[in-house]
Structure 1
Amino acid sequence: MKSTLRGLMFVAASAALAWACLSTPGIALADDTPNPCDALKRIVAAAPDGFTSLRPDDGKAVAQTYGRDAQCAAKARTYTCMWTKASDAGSATDALQGVAADIAACLPEATHDQNSPGRQHFYIGPRGQRTQITATTAGAGKLTLAVSGK
C-alpha cells in the first residue's frame, strides 16, 4: 500500500512538473536567435502584397550571421536590407557568398542565375510573376539584400 501511494505521488508530481513546463512561456536561450530561413521565406511570401505585411526588423535575421546593424525597409515594391559586414565574417565577398548559400539552402525553389564576387541573383516564379532576390556588396564593408516582386 505504501509503495502504491508513493508511486501515485511520483506520477502526480511528474504530471504537475510536465504541465508547468508546457504552460510556462519559453525562456530565451542563446540558440534562440532569429533564423535566416524564416526571415527569407517571410520576405519572399510578402512580395505579392508589395511587402506591406513586413516590418523593418523582419529582414534583420538574414544579416545577423554576417553583420549586426542591418537596416531594412520596403519601398517601391522592393524590400531592401543593408548592413556593415561583421569583422569575423571574412571579406565582403566571403560574406556575400554566405548570404547566397543561405538563400540557396532556404529557398530551394529559387533559381540561382548569377554568381559573381560582387553580385548574387536568384529568382522564384515564372516570367512576368517573378520575385527577384539580389545580394550585392556595397563597397569594401557593406552588403545589400534586395527582394522585389511583381
Structure 2
Amino acid sequence: MTRSRLRPAIVATAATMAAGLALPLAAARADDTPSPCAALKRIVAAAPQGFQSLGPDDGRAVAQPYGDDARCTPSRSAYRCEWTPRDAGSSAAALQGVGADIAACLPDATHDQNSPARQHFYLGARSDRTEITAAAAGASRVTLTVSKP
C-alpha cells in the first residue's frame, strides 16, 4: 500500500475505533440507579402529613447501594425499610454507609448518635421533630426508620 493510501486507511480505522470506544464509555456513565438522596428527601418531606402517601418502592433507593432485597412499609407515624447487606455479615459497613448518605443528603439533620449498631439523626425542633434511625437488626439485617413521634 502506498503512503497516500495508507494514511486514509489509518485515519478511518482510528475513527472507527474511537467511535467504538466512545459508545461503551457513554453507556458506562449512564446511571439509571435511583438516588438515595432523592428517596431520603421524599420520605422526610412526607413526615408532616404522615407516611401513608408513600409506597413500598419509595425507600428502596436508600438501600440499593448496600442490598437488593429492601422491603419498605409506610404507616401513619413511620416509614420503615429493612434489607440484607450484599456482603454477608456486613451490616455494620452498610449501616455506616447509610449514615454517611443521610448526613450528605440531609445537611440540616443533627447526627446525635453514631455507633456500630445505630445511627440516629433528627430534623426540626423538639416539639416537631422528624427522627431518622438506621440500625443493625442482628448480624445480617439493616433497618431504616423515619418517624414522626
TM-score category by the smaller chain?
0.7 to 0.9
- Corresponding residue of 2:98: 99
- Listed as ranges, the gaps of 5+ residues in structure 1 are 1-28
Q: Identity of counterpart residues, as a percentage?
A: 66
* TM-score, structure 2 as length reference: 0.77
Report the CA distance between 1:30 and its aligned residue.
4.9
Report the CA distance between 1:74 and its aligned residue.
1.2
Deviation per CA, 1:54-98, whole angstroms, max 9, x where unpaired?
11100000000000000001124110000011128x721111000
Report the CA distance between 1:37 and its aligned residue.
0.0
What SS class does the counterpart of residue 87 from structure 1 fall into?
A: coil
The aligned amino acid for 1:45 is A
What SS class does the counterpart of residue 44 from structure 2 fall into?
A: helix
* TM-score, structure 1 as length reference: 0.77
Matched, 1:86 2:80: no
- Corresponding residue of 1:47: 47
May I ask how many residue pairs the two structures share in their alignment? 121
What SS class does the counterpart of residue 80 from structure 1 fall into?
A: strand
The aligned amino acid for 2:130 is T
Distance 1:41 1:145 in 2: 14
Distance 1:124 1:75 in 2: 19
Distance 2:138 2:52 in 1: 29
Matched, 1:57 2:57: yes
4+ runs deviating over 6 angstroms: none
C-alpha contact (below 8 Å) 2:95/2:117 kept by paired residues: yes
What SS class does the counterpart of residue 95 from structure 1 fall into?
A: helix
Deviation per CA, 1:92-148, whole angstroms, max 9, x where unpaired?
111100000000000000000000000000000001100000000011110000000
The aligned amino acid for 2:97 is G
The aligned amino acid for 1:142 is R
- Corresponding residue of 1:21: none
C-alpha contact (below 8 Å) 2:52/2:76 kept by paired residues: no
